[in-house]
A and B are shown apart, each in its own frame.
Chain A
Amino acid sequence: MEKRVLVIEDEPNISEALRFILTRNGWQVDVSADGDTALGALRSDPPDLLILDLMLPGISGFDILKSLRAQDGTRDLPVLMLTAKGHAADRFEAERLGVTRFMTKPFANAEVLDAVRELTAS
């Protein structure tokens, strides 16, 4: 059975590229540009991996992560955070909130693929 990846990313061209790469490599990909809407779906039907942008309109990637870690069903959900904000402070904050992997933009496709393979392996 295909593993499911949810991408929360407000840049449509980035999420389209991610969808293409991951789909072609055997994952089932859903995309959401809005954290508020995605949170509901995440709680009711969590994917195998969440790829999460940090800077989103409305609710931020940090808020989403915090909310996921507070819920039993998503406490252990692997989260790969992609962000254009590469400050050490952001990385520390993401780690403090329980991110599984932190990656800065721009990224190499192969790098993302490796991370997704690793995080959905179990």
Chain B
Amino acid sequence: MPRAALTGTRIRARRNLRGLRQAELARVVGVSPSYLNLIEHNRRKVGPDLLSALAHALGVSSDALVEDTDARLVEGARAAALRCDAELAELERIDEFTGRFPGWSKVLAETQARVERLERVVEQLNDRMTHDPYLGEALHEIISAVTSVQSTASILNDSGEIEPDWQTRFHQNILQDSARLAEGAVALVNYLDAGKTEETGLAAPQEEVEAWLAARDFHLPQLEQGDADIAAMVQGQIELSSDASRALARQWIGRFQADTLALPLDKVLAALSVHGFAPDALAQQFNVRFDQVLRRLAMLPPKACADLGLPAPGLVICDNSGTLMFRRGVEGFALPRFGGGCPLWPLYQALQRPHQPMRQRLVTAGRLGRSFQSYAYAATEVVLGFDKPTVLQASMLIIPADSANASELGAPVVVGASCRTCAQMDCAARREPSILMSATESADAL
């Protein structure tokens, strides 16, 4: 979005707001009315001195005339318009709209962002409902009672003469099922209500934390200063609806804060501009553990990465139970929402070789397989004592691989997200049939 285009429109809007004629403003800032006219119609760029003079004359700061948020406002307004199937003619005037009404544009962009966040929350709640065993059982109970009431009521209504004994029994059954239905409904409402404030929330805490981070592009700018108020960061956040999710978020933020302190942003970006994504070089340079580098690389400002021509990476972290504790997806590399991932992921291979950095090229299974470079590392996180189990955690960074240099990365391993959705039918590591298989293939697969 050319900044000048919005600046001119904004100058005109501010002038009109103050009731100044074009000629008056031109005289005050020392340019001809025709030149100012060209500026206001976005046909001439505004130099810094003139911009300062215009801002002074209009009683605003220069920033108010050339805000950095222009592109974000335009994109927010565009996203809102596209969602509503706006007329294309109106869409073409989006620059004018954001230029003339920056305040309203900000409201629109923020409302749009809020809608997107809420939609993500709804999607997760929906997912959770599908997989929640208590909900499944409660709904089954209610449907059973409804079935009985409906069938029995229908008999009483449609069957003409019914013997008195049967009538009595059916009335009793309906009474019994009605009570059961009422109890079931109250229990269900209580369960759903509890989800608003307690740990029995509909979305699992991990899902809520991931949704919260995803809404921020997995970058928390407050941490870059090193003195973030972590408790304040998690208060009043839409996505973090339970005490458990806020506690988990605080735990992760604390970890990320330590990462930013050990790997300061400016120095990391400088190193990236030299090495690209090279976790080994960074670990050596900053004298930190390899997995700390992997986490840091997954939490960089997206714009800074884009400026260096680097894609946003994905990250998964698991403990030695194989449970995925943290998921940052990357386009083309699907991560499972539930259960474990693909057993061929280097993430799990790293668990078998703790403290050994691993690098592996990956290709996703399927007709449109995508290429990725992965780095994995596992380390001991908790030592319980002599002769006690230790707890390991493994991290895997997933970077979209440029097809141009893919051949330099060695032979790829074909991987999926999880067996359930994997298209690699003849995989020796398969632990359950894929939903993409036919019934016969499923029977033969194991």
Contact = CB atoms under 8 A, between A and B. Distances in A.
A and B part of one assembly: yes
A16 to B, nearest CB: 7
Given A11-B148, A109-B158, A16 B169 contact: yes
6 contacts: A17-B148, A17-B152, A17-B170, A20-B155, A106-B147, A107-B147
Q: Is the interface of B mostly helix, strand, loop or mixed?
A: helix
Interface in A50-78: 55
A61 to B, nearest CB: 13
Closest A-B pairs by Cβ, 7 of them: A84-B143, A106-B147, A13-B148, A17-B151, A105-B147, A13-B173, A106-B150
Given A21-B155, A107-B147, A107-B151, A16 B173 contact: yes
The CB with the most chain B CB atoms within 10 A, among A17, A18, A55, is that of: A17
A14 B148 contact: yes
Interface string B130-159: 000000000110011011101110110011
B439 interface: yes
B143 A109 contact: no
Contacts of A1: none
Contacts of A85: 140
Interface in A67-111: 84-85, 96, 105-109
Nearest to A104: B143
Contacts of B177: 13
Contacts of B150: 106-108
Contact of A106 (B146, B158, B173): B146
B386 interface: no
A11 B151 contact: no
Given A16-B173, A20-B166, A106-B146, A84 B140 contact: yes
Contact of B144 (A11, A20, A21, A109): A11
Contacts of A13: 148, 152, 173, 176-177
A95 B147 CA distance: 23
Interface string B30-58: 00000000000000000000000000000
